[in-house]
Amino acid sequence: DIQMTQSPPSLSASVGDRITITCRASQSINRFLNWYQQKPGKAPKLLIYSASSLQSGVPSRFSGSGSGTDFTFTISSLQPEDFATYYCQQSYSSIFTFGPGTKVD
């Protein structure tokens, strides 16, 4: 299986901050990397697919980059509704795996 790691596990931020989360795959996954946002008691929401493509309806303050094994997710200016947990997920393999998550509070 392809293992996914994320850092940091959690971060404290304030409204207006620029935040960056990193995700690393245990082997090259090309650009088959997706990012999700999850709020407590809710289903995950797709934000970014294929490493850098913004899902329809998602604000442009969210962005992603990277390829191979190293990826980054950025919120350019944190908004109150962005406090949540963020997960990366690889879809290179037919066996999907998620990162452990990064809690932004």
Partner 1 sequence: QVQLQESGPGLVKPSQTLSLTCSVSGGSVDVGSYYWSWVRQPAGKGLEWLGRIYATGNTNYNPSLESRVTISVDTSKNQFSLKLSSVSAADTAVYFCAREAKWSDALDIWGLGAMVTVSS
- Residue numbers at the binding site for partner 1 (CB under 8 A): 1, 32, 34, 36, 38, 43-46, 49-50, 53, 55, 87, 89, 91, 94-101
Closer residue to partner 1 in complex, CB, 16/41: 41
Closer residue to partner 1 in complex, CB, 1/70: 1
Shortest reach from residue 53's CB to partner 1, in Å: 7
Closer residue to partner 1 in complex, CB, 2/78: 2
Shortest reach from residue 27's CB to partner 1, in Å: 16
Shortest reach from residue 17's CB to partner 1, in Å: 24
Buried b (16+ CB within 10 A) or exposed e, 23-52: bbbeeebebbbbbbbeeeeeebeebbbebb
Region of residue 50 (phi > 0: left; psi between -120 and 50: alpha; otherwise: beta): left
Cα–Cα distance measured from residue 43 to residue 14, given in angstroms and rounded to the nearest whole number: 24
DSSP annotation of 27 reads S
Closer residue to partner 1 in complex, CB, 83/98: 98
